[in-house]
Amino acid sequence: MTRLGLGALLSHWRHNPWQLATLIAGLALATALWSGVQAINAEARVSYDRAADVVSGRGLAQITRVDGAKIRTEEYVSLRRTGWQVSPILEGEVQRGGRSVLLIGIEPMTLPGGEGTQDDEQSPLELEDTEGADVISAHPDDAAVFEGLDVTVRPDTARVPGRALADIAVAEDVLGRPDEISRLLVAPEQPLGLDPLPPTYRLTQTGDQTDVARLTESFHLNLTAFGLLSFAVGIFIVYGAVGLAFEQRRAVFRTLRALGLPLRRLMALLALELGVFALVAGALGVALGYLIAAALLPDVAATLRGLYGADISGQLRVRPAWWLSGLGMALAGTALAGAAALFKLARLPLLSFNHPRAMSMHADAAARWLALAAGGLFGMGAVIAIAGQGLFAGFGLLACLLIGAAFCLPLTLSAALRLAGRWHHGPLAEWFWADSRQQLPGLSMALMALLLAMAANIGVSTMVSSFRLTFTGYLDQRLSSELYLTTSSPGQAEAVTRYLDDTGATVLPIVWQDLRIGGLPAEIYGIRDHTTYRENWPLLQAVPQVWDRLAAGEGALINEQLSRRLALNPGDTLETGDRVLGVYSDYGNAAGQVVISETAFKARYPQIETLRFGVRTADPDTLAAALRERFDLREDALINQADLKAFSLSVFERTFAVTTALNILTLAVAALALLIGLLTLASLRLPQLAPVWALGLTPRHLAGMELLRAVALAAVTGLLAVPLGLALAWVLLAIVNVEAFGWRLPMFLFPAEYARLGALTLVAAVLAAAWPALRLSRTPPDRLLRVFSNER
Amino acid sequence: MVLKITHLVKRYDPAGDAVLRDVSFEMAAGETLALEGESGSGKSTLLHLVAGLDRVTAGQIEVDGTDITTLSDAALAQMRRVVVGLVFQQFNLIPSLTVQSNIAFQARLAGRHDADWAAHLAQTIGLEAHLSSYPETLSGGQQQRVAIARALAAKPRLLLADEPTGNLDETTADAVLHLMLESAAETETALLMVTHSPRQAARMQRRLTLSHGVVSTRGPSEVAI
């Protein structure tokens, strides 16, 4: 009985292969986008962990000098002698051919528990080869940086790109910094009765998470949110396909039950059928997700490098965790989408008949319930907006807004179609609008998916375009020096500045020191009092006479990120002891920044040499050529403003390349949903269309009306997506971005972009409707006649 | 003549047997004719061909003086709107439109909508209280009456009915047929009705029997109206 029942159920899919393809494609796409994002996140997290092992030590405390100076070897030895179980780390950049690698020197003998040298997936580090030569372990892409040095480079794909490891003695040689230690790692186990740390040192407890992981958390949450949105859009397709298959098989269900198949067995068979589809589609989806992740990973890596300085491996590995997560999501999504069908089956009376209009009326009731649920979601969103805090609250608000709006769609569309029906007179128009309302239940899921995808597109494009506009203006303000110069030594710096003074150019030193504020990495800059800053810096808030007071050393300017993160405003005091005089916008940088006067900086960090300068000149090309000729500068030592802006903008563009790509994929999925919905409906339409044909309309005329209907529904959905998209943009700009990146941007409107997206959606709707319409226009009369009689 | 069929042949499969073979007959304005025959004899096919819903293999069909076998699809659609009224066994009302809209639908398509006539028809079929209802809320007999009113609303020259009482009980079937005959007489509409029921056929002026695609019997009805 079970086998026969299953055979009867499966025969539906054999006769409707397109519907099966729809179901599998929808679920596979949903899983693919979700698991693709998870693959990227998983890869990034593994990279952070590896980086954390060598950079800061996972969960290990660190010792640095309070004055920011390097620790000398004798200081390290002295601390060891007093019982401190510490291990030295020396870090420095090695540059060649425009590529920069952070070389990290470690002392394997004293490294706490070997933590820094290997993790569960990374190959063990051997810092000497079999012949005793010095070894640098680096990612294969970084090996070229060390060419020509008297060391053996051991390429290792498991290494994080941009970071290489070596024994500290080798690092000292390569970096040319003997007797220097950047910081000391503190072993978790320390002897009892240890002498307190001398006041010249600072002990920093690193949390369980690394700095990079904490800084990038919001970025990954953003990606996850987009993955979920794409998944939701895909699940709408699955819901639509499962629901329609249920409606089409009502008669089969009734017959099977009438023939003696128990309801529970029938439900179990249906669940089994869906489970098998979910596993097949899930496996396909995870495989497709791998390809998507592999395609997007380089952009993500570039984004994380540009925005956070985080290096992640560009190589994707198959990890069981996201395979299982992908399959789990496919099963969960199918269960969600199939639950309604199973519920209906459980309540299906043995004797019930399909009445299209009755189905439409049930759908009206369902639409009213959905609208009520939407009201609840909007209410919840309002509560979150007022009382919620943090990134999760931001995403919670977004979810309430988007799902609520999607739930409102069937009722709104129904009302819009009823209104349109009142405006248009004539039998065809009347039938067209009434019939369109009747088609809504079959199409509403696809239209919801379209609404979400379009709103996401409008929202994200508004955010990105607003950001681009603001960022371009910001770069014009911030990068006001015509040339940016990096000298190789204090001697060269002195010679160059003297020459520049002689030529009449204005020299603006760029000097900074890394520090930690609020437990996170930050930078403190010293700037010279000059009209360049006074006229150009984008101050968001400031005390009166801010520049005069800054020059007088009365306080500091801080960037917006730091201001928001630590809730600091002008008048407050930083943990460095500086009074906040103003807050400036600082886009494209996740870390906190403090600006004090050059004089105050030099007094606080006398050991920091000034090696970088901004140069104001009326003729940058001539001056750049003269500087190169006179001072034998490296190619990358002198950068003009235009190049720097172009570089910054390229970082910006890559930052949003991933979200844009996910957006386009989501829209494509929604268009597919519409195509699938229309194709499936087309098979059910003949009984409704044949009488109209018999009463005097040609199939071509009817096909044209079907096309028009798809365009009209997509157009109304598109119009509704505009306010929703703008609300989404507002939440992204005013809440999510502030939480994620620490800055708030002004919102601009881009009507031309929305019009282009609208046109694209209409084209997608026409394309989606074209095939079913073409099939209808070519329907032979005998197929239409079968509606009226089975007899010839 | 409202309808003139000459040497009509219809084959679905070019290599197979003809469904209709050399069928010829005529109908005058206001005339009623019953088309009888066993299942598969070609009755519905003949009706569909006359309605311009399907194409002939050979022969000629003149409806209201026009040879419809040479018409384009668009012209056939126009002919169906204006000249012909159709009543099906399954009623085939438009579920998304109210009773009133269903009745007026074809007449409005044909540009011949007459509100008074539509109201008279609604009164005649006894459904003036259900004009704003949707078809599914009506019984089978009520739905068929709506279908008849729809077919007659455009005052067609030829009313084609394919077993219009096939799904109805005897009493309802009699009432529906009475309505059809009365309305057709009132508008001088010729009625060609496919039926399996000798009792129903007997109420028509003429009867034709189709057997294996050939008209085998012709003659006046035993019972005149």
Q: For A736-789, what is each residue's pLDDT tens digit?
A: 777 776 777 788 899 998 898 889 888 888 888 888 899 888 888 888 887 776
Residue A1 is predicted with a pLDDT of 65
Domain at B213, CATH number: 3.40.50.300
Does B9 reside within a domain?
A: yes
Read off the pLDDT of residues A668-713 as tens digits, 9 standing for 90 and up. 777 777 777 777 677 678 888 888 888 888 889 999 999 998 888 9
Contacts of A693 in chain B (CB under 8 A): 53, 77
Mutating which of B13, B84, B92 best tests the A interface, going by the most A Cβ atoms within 10 A? B92
Contacts of B92 in chain A (CB under 8 A): 690-691, 694, 787-788
The count of structural domains within chain A is: 4
A692, closest residue in chain B (CA to CA):
B94
Contact present, A134 and A170 (Cβ < 8 Å): yes
Range of the domain at A224: 1-53+215-354
Does A185 reside within a domain?
A: yes
Residues in chain B: 225
Mark whether A466 and A401 lie in a shared domain: yes
Does A360 reside within a domain?
A: no
Mark whether A469 and A487 lie in a shared domain: no
Record the tokens describing residue A273, joined without a space.
């059928």
Side chain identity, residue A601: F
Q: What are phi and psi of A698, to 5 degrees?
A: -85, 155
3-class DSSP assignment, residue B66: strand
Record the tokens describing residue B56, joined without a space.
């002939």
**Is the minimum CB–CB distance between B136 and chain A shorter than 8 Å?**
yes
Which residues 429-458 of chain A have a CB within 8 Å of chain B?
430-431, 434-435, 437-438
Mark whether A677 and A608 lie in a shared domain: no
Query: Is B93 within 8 Å of A691 when comparing Cβ atoms?
Result: yes
Closest-CA residue to A697 (of A394, A426, A352): A426
Q: How many CA atoms lie within 13 A of A446 on its CB side?
A: 33
Q: What is the nearest CA distance from B105 to chain A, expressed in angstroms?
A: 6
CA distances from A737 to A39, A304, A734 (A): 23, 16, 7
Q: What is the nearest CA distance from B132 to chain A, expressed in angstroms?
A: 14
Contacts of B96 in chain A (CB under 8 A): 356-357, 360, 431, 434-435, 437-438, 688
Contact present, A29 and A234 (Cβ < 8 Å): yes
Record the tokens describing residue A600, joined without a space.
């105050």
Does B225 reside within a domain?
A: no
Residue A767 is predicted with a pLDDT of 86
Query: Is A437 within 8 Å of B96 when comparing Cβ atoms?
Result: yes
Eight-class DSSP state of A92 = E
Q: What is the nearest CA distance from A405 to chain B, expressed in angstroms?
A: 27
- Calculate helix-pair angle for A17-55, A211-248, nearest 10 degrees: 170
Read off the pLDDT of residues A588-646 as tens digits, 9 standing for 90 and up. 666 789 999 999 999 988 878 888 888 998 888 888 888 888 887 766 678 888 877 77
> Which stretches does DSSP call E strand in B43-143?
58-63, 66-67, 84-87
What's the CA dihedral at A436, A442, A445, A447 to 10 degrees? -30
Mutating which of A430, A686, A689, A695 best tests the B interface, going by the most B Cβ atoms within 10 A? A695
Contacts of A788 in chain B (CB under 8 A): 44, 48, 88-90, 92, 162
Q: Which residues of chain A have pLDDT under 50?
A: 54-58, 115-125, 130, 207-210, 790-792
Q: Which residues of chain B have pLDDT under 70?
A: 217-225
Mutating which of A352, A353, A354, A357 best tests the B interface, going by the most B Cβ atoms within 10 A? A357
Mark whether A301 and A158 lie in a shared domain: no
Contacts of A357 in chain B (CB under 8 A): 95-96, 134-136
Give the residue carrying structure tokens 């002026």: B205
Does A362 reside within a domain?
A: no
How do B32-37 and B58-63 pair as beta strands? unpaired
Residue B56 is predicted with a pLDDT of 93
Q: What is the nearest CA distance from A748 to chain B, expressed in angstroms?
A: 44
How far apart are the C-alpha atoms of B151 and B89, rounded to whole Å?
13
B137, closest residue in chain A (CA to CA):
A358
- Among the partner-chain residues B44, B53, B82, the one whose CB lies closest to the CB of A781 is B53
How far apart are the C-alpha atoms of B160 and A263, rounded to whole Å?
45
Query: Is B95 within 8 Å of A698 when comparing Cβ atoms?
Result: no
3-class DSSP assignment, residue B208: strand
Domain stops at, among A648, A682, A714: A648
How far apart are the C-alpha atoms of B123 and A273, rounded to whole Å?
53
B101, closest residue in chain A (CA to CA):
A427
The residues, ordered by sequence, that sit 6+ positions from A352 with a Cβ below 8 Å of its Cβ are: A250, A254
Record the tokens describing residue A453, joined without a space.
């995808």
**Is the minimum CB–CB distance between B160 and chain A shorter than 8 Å?**
no
CA distances from A697 to A694, B65, B75, B139 (A): 7, 22, 10, 27
Mark whether A5 and A121 lie in a shared domain: no
- Among the partner-chain residues B44, B73, B92, the one whose CB lies closest to the CB of A691 is B92
Which residues 772-791 of chain A have a CB within 8 Å of chain B?
781-782, 784-785, 787-789, 791
Mark whether A643 and A658 lie in a shared domain: no
The residues, ordered by sequence, that sit 6+ positions from B123 with a Cβ below 8 Å of its Cβ are: none
Range of the domain at B189: 3-220
Residue B194 is inside which H or E element, if any?
Answer: strand B190-194
Contact present, A644 and A438 (Cβ < 8 Å): no
In which region does residue A185 sit, left (phi positive, over 0), alpha (psi from -120 to 50) or beta (all else)?
Answer: beta
Give the residue carrying structure tokens 């309801």: A263
Which residues 677-706 of chain A have a CB within 8 Å of chain B?
688, 690-701
Q: CA geometry: angle at A33 spanning A32 and A38, to 5°?
A: 95
**What is the secondary structure of A270-293 as a DSSP string?**
HHHHHHHHHHHHHHHHHHHHHHHH
Does B130 reside within a domain?
A: yes
Does B122 reside within a domain?
A: yes
The residues, ordered by sequence, that sit 6+ positions from A338 with a Cβ below 8 Å of its Cβ are: A242, A270, A271, A274
Q: What is the nearest CA distance from A720 to chain B, expressed in angstroms?
A: 25
Mark whether A290 and A394 lie in a shared domain: no
Contact present, A52 and A216 (Cβ < 8 Å): no
Residue A668: burial class (beta carbons within 10 Å; 0-12, 13-18, 19+): middle
Q: What is the nearest CA distance from B202 to chain A, expressed in angstroms?
A: 23
Query: Is B78 within 8 Å of A699 when comparing Cβ atoms?
Result: no
Proportion of chain B in helix, strand, coil states, percent, rounded to 5: 40, 25, 35
The count of structural domains within chain B is: 1
Record the tokens describing residue A457, joined without a space.
């597109």
Mark whether A87 and A14 lie in a shared domain: no
Residue A309 is predicted with a pLDDT of 58
Which residues 37-96 of chain B have a CB within 8 Å of chain A?
39-40, 42-45, 48, 51, 53-55, 73-74, 77-78, 80-82, 86, 88-90, 92-96
The side-by-side arrangement of strands in the sheet containing A152-155 is A152-155, A135-138, A163-167, A99-106, A86-96, A183-186, A61-65, A201-204
How far apart are the C-alpha atoms of A64 and A87, rounded to whole Å?
12
Residue A119 is predicted with a pLDDT of 42
Contacts of A364 in chain B (CB under 8 A): none
**Is the minimum CB–CB distance between A792 and chain B shorter than 8 Å?**
yes
- Among the partner-chain residues B80, B136, B162, the one whose CB lies closest to the CB of A696 is B80
Contacts of A696 in chain B (CB under 8 A): 77-78, 80-82, 106, 109-110
Residue A441 is inside which H or E element, if any?
Answer: helix A427-478
Mark whether A24 and A11 lie in a shared domain: yes
Residue A241 is predicted with a pLDDT of 75
A–B interface: beta-carbon pairs under 8 A: 111
Mark whether A297 and A407 lie in a shared domain: no
Q: What are phi and psi of A134, to 5 degrees?
A: -70, 140
Domain stops at, among A608, A628, A648: A648
Query: Is A698 within 8 Å of B94 when comparing Cβ atoms?
Result: no
3-class DSSP assignment, residue B219: strand
- Among the partner-chain residues B78, B89, B97, the one whose CB lies closest to the CB of A696 is B78
Q: What is the per-residue burial (b if ≥16 Cβ within 10 Å, else e) of A720-754?
A: bbbebbbbbbebbbebbbbbbbbbbbebeebeeeb
Mark whether A500 and A607 lie in a shared domain: yes
Contact present, A112 and A187 (Cβ < 8 Å): yes
**Is the minimum CB–CB distance between B101 and chain A shorter than 8 Å?**
yes
How far apart are the C-alpha atoms of A774 and A262, rounded to whole Å?
42
A701, closest residue in chain B (CA to CA):
B74
**Is the minimum CB–CB distance between A178 and chain B shorter than 8 Å?**
no
Does B100 reside within a domain?
A: yes
Residue A177 is predicted with a pLDDT of 83
Say how far residue A136 (Cα) sits from the centre of its chain: 34
Give the residue carrying structure tokens 């007449």: B107
Domain stops at, among A184, A205, A226: A205
Q: What is the nearest CA distance from A5 to chain B, expressed in angstroms?
A: 31
pTM assigned to the model: 0.68
How far apart are the C-alpha atoms of A578 and A597, rounded to whole Å?
11
- Among the partner-chain residues A693, A698, A792, the one whose CB lies closest to the CB of B44 is A792
Does A683 reside within a domain?
A: yes
How far apart are the C-alpha atoms of A721 and A630, rounded to whole Å?
61
Find the distance separating the first CA and the last CA of chain B, reported in whole Å: 20
Residue A81 is inside which H or E element, if any?
Answer: helix A73-81
Query: Is B89 within 8 Å of A426 when comparing Cβ atoms?
Result: no
Record the tokens describing residue A180, joined without a space.
């220097």
The residues, ordered by sequence, that sit 6+ positions from A709 with a Cβ below 8 Å of its Cβ are: A432, A435, A436, A439, A769
CA distances from A14 to A11, A137, A178, A249 (A): 5, 57, 75, 13
Mark whether A473 and A504 lie in a shared domain: no
Which residues 387-426 of chain A have a CB within 8 Å of chain B?
426
**Is the minimum CB–CB distance between A360 and chain B shorter than 8 Å?**
yes
Q: What is the nearest CA distance from B57 to chain A, expressed in angstroms?
A: 14
**Any alpha helices (H) in A161-262, and if so which ranges?**
168-175, 211-248, 250-258
